[in-house]
Amino acid sequence: MDQAGTEQTLASKWDLPFVIFSTLRVAFGTLPWWAKAIVIGLVGSVAVWTAITWLRERGRRVA
């Protein structure tokens, strides 16, 4: 550990998923179901579009 104390080590492999889950729960916990559905739909659409684009580019590089 350095003098300033900025170097940190995670206590377990579950620290990062716990922090992400807790942050999402706090951020979206008070939203109505329709707002949650819109956010999840938008994020899901972007994820699918990114995956399809990546696969297309990968196919072009191979061929």
pLDDT tens digit sequence for 11-40: 777 788 899 899 988 888 889 999 999 999
Residue with tokens 């104390």: 5
Contact 43, 37 (CB under 8 A): no
pLDDT tens digit sequence for 36-61: 999 999 999 999 999 999 999 887 87
The letter for the amino acid at 56 is: R
Query: Residue 31 has what DSSP assignment?
Result: S
Q: Can you give the pTM of this predicted structure?
A: 0.57
Extended strands (E) in 1-63 = none
Q: Could you state, in order of their start, the residue ranges of all structural domains in the chain?
A: 32-63
